[in-house]
Amino acid sequence: MSWMLSNRENEQKLEKLFRDDGVDFSLPGFYDEPNFLKNENHNPRYLENYAHYVEARAYDSEYLTTAREKINIAVKILFAEVKRDGRLGACIDVSGMLGRMLDRLGIWNYVATTTMTIDFPASAGRPSEYFWNFDEGPFTAAHAIVVAPPFYVVDVTAALQAYTRPVHNFIQNYVISEIFNSASWQPEDLMNHKMLRHIPLQYGTFKNFLVKTNSAMLSVMKVLPARSVSLGETSLKYVIVAVGGTIEPLEGVVGYKPCGRTALTIFEKDIRPLIKTT
């Protein structure tokens, strides 16, 4: 077992950055460390360094084996609780919960704001489904997942979205993948297709649009690669456009309570008892 995104050069550069900034980067969740927060106050994009570090780090097989077991337990239980609750479209809240739970378990991870493009089998006779970053109407974000080695994608709510048509035959529960499938993003993955028609007149190309209006997002997309997951003949593509998560520790994650239960309660009562301790 290995982590395909490990990059020793980037790992060393980031460790030097943290060291120079007085940040203790020895443990997962160090984005709560006082000096990290101080740097984040001066640079709102400082959290991107944490995500980049999670992807660039080297992980030994023992860690990845243990992490896989813990992540699988947490995801399975959290998915069941959200499904039982019945809320659709809770990806941001649920990914934030999971990220904080994994921090508490000593698992390296970060929460990513993403787009999501679903391509169904030809036999399904249905068009692709899109969760765009640029769309009409009010919304917080297109989608959110967790990246937690050895898993390149952990999408607890993939099957629990307000789809235009049922997807149960194609996506039956959560999506979790420890296979890295590099993907190439297209403008159609990021923007509502009606809105996309106006881009050539205003900006010439979609790339120019991003450079002039969303340069920070473009830089995230370059550092944190797009990835896809195959579920049989169904393909889900995720383009990472920002680094997210919750400011509050696990005890403070109370905005969404699946079945009236806080994230901390689910963690302490349902997840932690199943985690092997050494």
Whether omega for the bond prior to residue 150 falls within 30 degrees of 0, making it cis, is yes
36/122 Cα distance (integer angstroms): 48
171/83 Cα distance (integer angstroms): 13
Enter the pTM of the model: 0.96
276/24 Cα distance (integer angstroms): 27
Residues 185-237: tens digit of each pLDDT: 999 999 999 999 999 999 999 999 999 999 999 999 999 999 999 999 999 99
Query: Which of 129-143, 163-177, 219-233 is the least confident region?
Result: 129-143
**pLDDT tier, 277 (very low <50, low <70, confident <90, very high otherwise):** low
Q: 187: which 2 tokens? A: 């403008």
The mean predicted confidence, pLDDT, of the chain is: 96
Q: pLDDT at residue 278 above 50?
A: no
**Beta-carbon neighbour count of residue 45 at 10 Å?**
12
**Beta-carbon neighbour count of residue 121 at 10 Å?**
13
Residues 63-77: tens digit of each pLDDT: 999 999 999 999 999
**Beta-carbon neighbour count of residue 169 at 10 Å?**
11
